[in-house]
Structure formats: structure tokens, C-alpha cells
């Protein structure tokens, strides 16, 4: 690799010297060789020029699902990581949503080996319990040594409070990160959408916000008792933000994330009974989206995620009650978030979170490995199926007007370019 980025505006709030400066960046053999106001290209140097070119450190997504192994028809690891790269992401955390789901060191080794040599780095989560059945803890220590960055029974709440207590105590021996999905199944019952005016009007069984908040309150009490590191993925309600803010004020080691679609859409879109909008946690109300955005801005919510969840067409194009939860979101993540917040905040949110998983954050500095996302923050367009690189096409953003285009990513001495 020998490329020269010309007149790239750098967005990097942590870099006081280069933030908001326009510079040429010379990359040789995957390493940033030089950053200067003007660099003349050497022979055999590929010069990259784009309209309104901006550059940041490569983006990070803490909640991505593919399909391999078991559901390769939804998405393979190879194509999933290619999709991530084309969407601006150089590092992703892979959910344990496969069949079988990973609960041993050999499972983690398989996932990591399947991603070897690709531009986007994959960091797998392992099951918290064996077969994600909530009965016995999985091989947490062995999976950590094999490369698992956290432990999660994907989208399944830990109903056994004592088991969560034991897990939080046990992982402190090796600095493990425990996930707990925020849902009390007894309160949620057979609900499939947010409980409120819309669910009543449509005659759909509702999930009250209490189902999320009660579980979070329980988990935070346990964390306060045990210590350890807890992550609460994809919160969706205003009161959840308050509960976590209060816990952080107490000094508890807790983090949380929010799915971008829970920031963009409310349950009002359900009036057409389109199952593309069926997700877990469900789309909530305008009050909730406002509180979630405020929580992002003040740091209560640690990071955003696409919560990318490929599903076969036959799993979505059925009656609403029977449809599977989930939407893909990698390809639309930047363009949708960029409609809501200023570009500096957007890039900060898309770049942060690695440290929570023990990963080093890249830097835009001479001598450092090039881990970059190239983009135009101002281009607007209507998102259509042609913008989808995933094998599955279940995106709730089809037809939405988005703002911002990813040109390419540079990572692991590879340059992955959009057409």
C-alpha cells in the first residue's frame, strides 16, 4: 500500500494538533508515514481525492450479528466484515447469535480465525451461560484467553439473579465484562411492541417500559453488591437513562449502549403493521428518544451501535406477531446518526468504546498503523436497497433520507472502497 490522501479534513477531538485541520496524509505499507499541509506524491503513489473529504480514526460498533456458523444464508463472517468496512467500521464486536452459539474456547478460536486477513477486525463475545440457557456459566476464563471480549446470552435476560451475582464476582479474577440484557420477561409477557397509545390503537400486545427498567434496577443493585464490570446493551427508555446515570454517580462500573434506530424512530411507524420495524427492545416514544439523545450528549450512554441483525426475508415478511425481531443497520448507521447530531459528536460516538473491551484506540499520528474512515458528511440521499451490502435486506431505513457518505476505510494494510 502506497497512497496519499489529499486535502483531508481531520475529525479527531482527542488530537488537539490536527482536529479540524485539512492535511495531506501519506500511508505506506499500512503505516501513516507523513502528515503535512502539502505532500507531493512519490512515484507509484496512489493519490486519493474526494469531494469534501473528511477523515477520522476507524469506526467501532459494539453490537453486530452475522450468521456464521449456522445461519450463513443470513450473513457470512467474510461478507459481514466487508459490509462493515464499506460502512466505515474497522472494528466490530460480534454477538453470540449463531447456531451453535459460542460457549467454549474452541468456538471463539473458530470465529477469530474466520476473520483473519480481513480489513475489519472482529472481536467475539462468548455466551455467559452454557448454550445461553441461563442455568450454568459457560467457560468464561477459557474463552477470555481465546480472545472473547465479553460474555452475553444474546438478547436473553439473566432471569437467575444469583447466577448474575456469581458471574460478576467470578470475572473479576481476569477483568471480564458481563452483559445483561434489560428485559424482565414476566413483566413483558407476550408483548411485541412498546406498551402505550399506539399498541392500544393497533391491538398489539405491549411491553411496558417497566420491563426494561425493573431489570436494570435489579442488575445495578447486584453490581453494587458484587463489584465487577457490567454492560447493559441497547437501552430504550427515558427512565433507563436516569437509572444508569444515578449508578454512575455512585461510582459503579457500568456501561450501556443504544441502538441508532431507537434514536431515529418511534412506535408511531408501526401503524402500517410493517414487521421491518419489529425490533427488541421495541421502538418507544418521542419522550424516550429525546432522553436517549440527551443521555448520549451528557455521557450517560457510553456508545451507539447499529445493532446490525440480518434476517431472512421469510422471517420478516409474515404476520407482525410471528415476525422475527431485528434490522440491519451497518450501512445506514452514519447517514442516520448524522441527521440527528453535529458531525463532531457523530464521529466521536462512532469512534469511542474500544477501551471498554480492552482494545487500543487508533491514532492519527505519524508512525502509527493507519486505521481510518474516509467520508463526506454533507452528501444527502435516499437510502434504497442498492445501498445494502448485506446478504439480508431487512433494513427499516429503506426510503429514509440520510446525510453522509462513506468513501472507504483503511485498516490492516487494506483499502476497502465504495463504488
Q: Give me the DSSP letters along 95-133.
A: PS-SSSPP-SHHHHHHHHHHTTT-SSEEEE-B-SBGGG-
Q: How far apart are CA 348 and CA 411, in angstroms?
A: 18
CB-based burial, 1-38: b 16+ in 10 Å, e otherwise: eebbbbebbbbbeebeebeeeebbbbbbeeebbebeee
Quote the pLDDT of residue 278: 98
Q: How far apart are CA 1 and CA 78, in angstroms?
A: 21
| DSSP-derived pairing of the beta strands 22-28 and 2-10 | antiparallel
CA-nearest of 392, 395, 419 to 407 is 419
Quote the pLDDT of residue 179: 98
Q: Are 158 and 180 in contact (CB under 8 A)?
A: yes
pLDDT tens, residue order, the chain (419 aa)? 999 999 999 999 999 999 999 999 999 999 999 999 999 998 899 999 999 999 999 999 999 999 999 999 999 999 999 999 999 999 999 999 999 999 999 999 999 999 999 999 999 999 999 999 999 999 999 999 999 999 999 999 999 999 999 999 999 999 999 999 999 999 999 999 999 999 999 999 999 999 999 999 999 999 999 999 999 999 999 999 999 999 999 999 999 999 999 999 999 999 999 999 999 999 999 999 999 999 999 999 999 999 999 999 999 999 999 999 999 999 999 999 999 999 999 999 999 999 999 999 999 999 999 999 999 999 999 999 999 999 999 999 999 999 999 999 999 999 999 98
Rounded alpha-carbon distances, angstroms, from residue 115 to 77, 78, 118, 354:
7, 7, 6, 18
Q: Which residues contact 113 (CB under 8 A, 6 or more apart)?
A: none
Q: Are 297 and 279 in contact (CB under 8 A)?
A: no
Catalytic residues: 307
What is the CA 250 to chain-centroid distance, rounded?
A: 26
CA-nearest of 151, 142, 164, 153 to 124 is 151
Quote the pLDDT of residue 382: 98
Quote the pLDDT of residue 419: 80
- Give the chain's domains with CATH numbers: 2-55+365-383+400-417 (2.30.40.10), 59-357 (3.20.20.140)
Reading the block at residue 251, the C-alpha cell is: 461510582
Quote the pLDDT of residue 286: 98
**Tell me, what DSSP letter sits at residue 391?**
S
Q: How far apart are CA 179 and CA 97, in angstroms?
A: 14
Quote the pLDDT of residue 135: 97
Amino acid at each position: 500500500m502506497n497512497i496519499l490522501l489529499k486535502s483531508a479534513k481531520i475529525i479527531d477531538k482527542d488530537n488537539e494538533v490536527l482536529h479540524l485541520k485539512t492535511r495531506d496524509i501519506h500511508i505506506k505499507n499500512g503505516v501513516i508515514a507523513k502528515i503535512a499541509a502539502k505532500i507531493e506524491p512519490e512515484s507509484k503513489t496512489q493519490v486519493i481525492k474526494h469531494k469534501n473529504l473528511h477523515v477520522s480514526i476507524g469506526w467501532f460498533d459494539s453490537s453486530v450479528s452475522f450468521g456464521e456458523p449456522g445461519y450463513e444464508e443470513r450473513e457470512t463472517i467474510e461478507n459481514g466484515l466487508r459490509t462493515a468496512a464499506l460502512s466505515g467500521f474497522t472494528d466490530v464486536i460480534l454477538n453470540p447469535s449463531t447456531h451453535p452459539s459460542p460457549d467454549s474456547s474452541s468456538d471463539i478460536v473458530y470465529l477469530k480465525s474466520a476473520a483473519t486477513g480481513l480489513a475489519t477486525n472482529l472481536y467475539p463475545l462468548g455466551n455467559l451461560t452454557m448454550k445461553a440457557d441461563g442455568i450454568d456459566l459457560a467457560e468464561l476464563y477459557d474463552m477470555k484467553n481465546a480472545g472473547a471480549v465479553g460474555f452475553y446470552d444474546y438478547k436473553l435476560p439473566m432471569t437467575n439473579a444469583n447466577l448474575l451475582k456469581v458471574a460478576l464476582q467470578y470475572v473479576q479474577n481476569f477483568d471480564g465484562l458481563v452483559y445483561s440484557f434489560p428485559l424482565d420477561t414476566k413483566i413483558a409477557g407476550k408483548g411485541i411492541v412498546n406498551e402505550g397509545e399506539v399498541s392500544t390503537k393497533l391491538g398489539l400486545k405491549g411491553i411496558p417500559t417497566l420491563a426494561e427498567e425493573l431489570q436494570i434496577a435489579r442488575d445495578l443493585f447486584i453490581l453494587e453488591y458484587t463489584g465487577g464490570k457490567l454492560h447493559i446493551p441497547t437501552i430504550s427508555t427515558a427512565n433507563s437513562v436516569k437509572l444508569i446515570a444515578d449508578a454512575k454517580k455512585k461510582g459503579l462500573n457500568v456501561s450501556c449502549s443504544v441502538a441508532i434506530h431507537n434514536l431515529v424512530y418511534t412506535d408511531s411507524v408501526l401503524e402500517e403493521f410493517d414487521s421491518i420495524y419489529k425490533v427488541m427492545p421495541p421502538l418507544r416514544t418521542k419522550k424516550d428518544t429525546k432522553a436517549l439523545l440527551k443521555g448520549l450528549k451528557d455521557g450517560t450512554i457510553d456508545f451507539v451501535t447499529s445493532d446490525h441483525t440480518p434476517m431472512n426475508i421469510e422471517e420478516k415478511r409474515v404476520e407482525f406477531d410471528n415476525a422475527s425481531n431485528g434490522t440491519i443497520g451497518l450501512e445506514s448507521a452514519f447517514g442516520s446518526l448524522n441527521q440527528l447530531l453535529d458531525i463532531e459528536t457523530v464521529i466521536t460516538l462512532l469512534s469511542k468504546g474500544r477501551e471498554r473491551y480492552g482494545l487500543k484506540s487508533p491514532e492519527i499520528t505519524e508512525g502509527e498503523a493507519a486505521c481510518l474512515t474516509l467520508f463526506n458528511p454533507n452528501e444527502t440521499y435516499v437510502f434504497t436497497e442498492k445501498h445494502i451490502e448485506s446478504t439480508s435486506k431487512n433494513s427499516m431505513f429503506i426510503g429514509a433520507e440520510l446525510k453522509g457518505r462513506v468513501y472507504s476505510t483503511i485498516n490492516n494494510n487494506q483499502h476497502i472502497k465504495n463504488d
